[in-house]
């Protein structure tokens, strides 16, 4: 992986992971303190219905579909962050329904769903790094041609692993 894990990309990975977890913490907490218990229970019931029919394939396809926009530098961040915001909202509602502080819920999810978080982190970081290279005029094409595919392979592997783990946990 010569040249893949550059200092800039490593920083992008760390910043991406911290941002994604921090974003979930902020959004879930805001939802937790502003939502009604009725809304939380409705969300809980809906999620339970969804879990009953979830399969490894449906989980993998859903996770791929929500994160594929990240393949488009800069622009792909917008739809992904919209989905991530909705994820934080659902976490906040489930925290309220379970009567668990959202910080605990998010941190437990970060551990239990670590491969999924890491897969999103790799693709998010690649997007940020290529965007940074483009904005600074530092040869983003070279990064895309020589190294971005490695992030995509890692992302797909981790996402498939996480879908299998999630299917096993809910099944």
Please indicate, yes or no, if residue 82 is contained in any of the structural domains: yes
**Domain membership flag for residue 73:** yes
Looking at the structure of the chain, the number of domains it has is 1
Backbone angles phi, psi at 56, to 5 degrees: -55, -45
| Residue 92 included in any domain | yes
Whether 87 is covered by a domain: the verdict is: yes
Burial 152-168 (b: 16+ CB within 10 A, else e): eebbeebbbbbbebbbe
Quote the domain boundaries for residue 85. Answer: 7-170
Give the separation between CA 97 and CA 40, rounded to whole angstroms.
5
Per residue in 117-161, pLDDT tens? 999 999 999 999 999 999 998 888 999 999 999 999 999 999 999
List pLDDT tens digits, range 152-161: 999 999 999 9
Tokens of 106: 């998010």
> Per the domain annotation, does 74 fall within a domain?
yes
In a domain, 11, yes or no: yes
Question: What's the angle, vertex CA 103, arms to CA 79 and CA 38, rounded to 5?
Answer: 75
In a domain, 2, yes or no: no
On whether residue 1 sits in a domain, the answer given is no
């Amino acid at each position: 992986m010569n040249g893949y894990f550059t200092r800039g990309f490593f920083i992008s990975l760390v910043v991406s992971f911290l941002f994604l977890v921090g974003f979930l913490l902020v959004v879930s907490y805001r939802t937790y303190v502003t939502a009604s218990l009725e809304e939380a229970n409705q969300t809980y019931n809906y999620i339970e219905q969804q879990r009953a029919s979830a399969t490894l394939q449906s989980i993998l396809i859903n996770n791929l579909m929500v994160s594929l926009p990240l393949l488009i530098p800069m622009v792909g961040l917008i739809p992904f962050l919209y989905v991530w915001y909705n994820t934080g909202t659902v976490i906040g509602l489930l925290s309220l329904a379970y009567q668990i502080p959202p910080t605990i819920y998010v941190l437990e999810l970060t551990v239990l769903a670590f491969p999924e978080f890491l897969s999103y982190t790799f693709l998010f970081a690649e997007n940020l790094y290529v965007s940074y290279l483009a904005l600074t005029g530092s040869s983003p094409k070279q990064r895309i041609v020589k190294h971005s595919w490695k992030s995509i392979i890692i992302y797909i592997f981790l996402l498939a692993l996480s879908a299998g783990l999630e299917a096993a946990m809910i099944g």
